[in-house]
């Protein structure tokens, strides 16, 4: 079955530093979504990537889908304390999404 | 405002009792999902439903049951057969598999 690995599992950064999380799949993906979950909260949909090599930006967040559609990344430029939370990638499976294990980001002020 | 409502937010039950978690959406979404999240872990799919009166098992369906009698509602019953039911339960809905999920605020179930 489809396996999704996210790295790193945890990341602590100083406020203002950049942050990147990677999502790797054992199989080619049709599309992938990214979610953010604040501590104690619920996941919130950020974006969906569909095309090979696609790059999308949301303010300080840059999302990329690999050329082979087997990996994806989320990069945050100049982190802020509001970026704290767990970031999940979610590749689509048959009729449902499979969530990765997530990367927990802690931003130190 | 449209959204997805889970109730209650916190639930305590004695071991051996069945308990039902509510999930209601007014987004007119066809698909609904139940996920379980354990501390520091990702989300694992319990059940999902693409249309009314139809639902499918996810990866960890044992010990759980669902119904989808109305488009707006997708209640989850945690039965006494679930060996480790204490967890954070999240309900979600979407227009379809290629659209983003909208999650409810979750129910934290503690079985003592």
Chain A residues whose CB is inside 8 A of the B106 CB are 42
Q: What is the C-alpha separation between A97 and B44, in angstroms, rounded?
A: 10
* pLDDT recorded at residue A91: 87
- Of B16, B3, B6, B4, residue with least CA distance to B79: B16
Tokens of B34: 């139940």
CA dihedral B40, B22, B15, B112 (to 10 degrees): 50
> Are B105 and A41 in contact (CB < 8 Å)?
yes
Work out the average pLDDT over B65-84: 96
| Structural tokens at position B53 | 């009166």
For A23-79, write each residue's pLDDT tens digit.
998 889 889 999 999 999 999 999 999 999 999 999 999 999 999 999 999 999 999
Instruction: State how beta strands B10-13 and B107-111 pair.
Output: parallel
Contacts of A5 (CB under 8 A, 6+ apart): A23, A24, A25, A100, A101
Are B42 and A88 in contact by the 8 Å Cβ rule? The answer is yes
Band the pLDDT of A92: cuts 50, 70, 90. Answer: confident
Predicted confidence at residue B1, as pLDDT, reads 61
**Does the pLDDT at position A2 exceed 80?**
no
From B100, which residue of chain A is nearest by alpha-carbon distance? A45
What integer pLDDT is reported at residue A95 of this predicted model?
59
The pLDDT of residue A93 is 67
Q: B82-91, pLDDT tens digit by residue?
A: 989 999 999 9
Q: Is pLDDT above 90 for A1?
A: no
**Binning pLDDT at 50, 70 and 90, where does residue A94 land?**
low
Q: Do the beta carbons of residue A48 and residue A32 sit within 8 Å?
A: yes
- Find chain A residues with C-beta within 8 A of B101's C-beta: 33, 35, 43, 45, 90, 97
Q: Which residues of A touch B92 (CB under 8 A)?
A: 43
B51 touches chain A (CB under 8 A): no
Query: CB contacts < 8 Å between A and B, how many?
Result: 50
Q: Are A72 and A78 in contact (CB under 8 A)?
A: no
> Per residue, what are the HEC states of B73-87?
ECCEEECCCCCCCCE
């Amino acid at each position: 079955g489809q396996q999704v690995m996210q790295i790193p599992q945890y990341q602590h950064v100083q406020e203002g530093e950049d942050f990147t999380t990677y999502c790797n799949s054992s199989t080619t993906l049709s599309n992938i979504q990214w979610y953010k979950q604040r501590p104690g909260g619920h996941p919130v949909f950020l974006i969906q990537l569909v095309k090979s090599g696609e790059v999308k930006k949301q303010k300080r967040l840059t999302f990329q889908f690999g050329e082979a559609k087997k990996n994806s990344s989320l990069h945050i430029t100049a982190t802020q304390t509001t970026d704290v939370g767990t970031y999940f990638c979610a590749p689509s499976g048959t009729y449902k999404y499979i969530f990765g294990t997530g990367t927990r980001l802690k931003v130190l002020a | 405002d449209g959204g997805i409502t889970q109730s209650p937010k916190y639930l305590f039950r004695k071991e051996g009792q069945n308990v039902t978690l509510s999930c209601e959406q007014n987004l007119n979404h066809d698909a609904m999902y139940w996920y379980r999240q354990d501390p520091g872990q990702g989300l694992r799919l319990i059940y999902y439903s693409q249309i009314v009166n139809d639902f499918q098992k996810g990866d960890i369906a044992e010990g759980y049951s669902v119904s989808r009698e109305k488009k707006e509602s997708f209640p989850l019953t945690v039965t006494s057969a679930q060996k480790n039911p204490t967890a954070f339960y999240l309900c979600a809905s979407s227009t379809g598999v290629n659209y983003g999920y909208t999650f409810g605020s979750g129910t934290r179930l503690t079985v003592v």
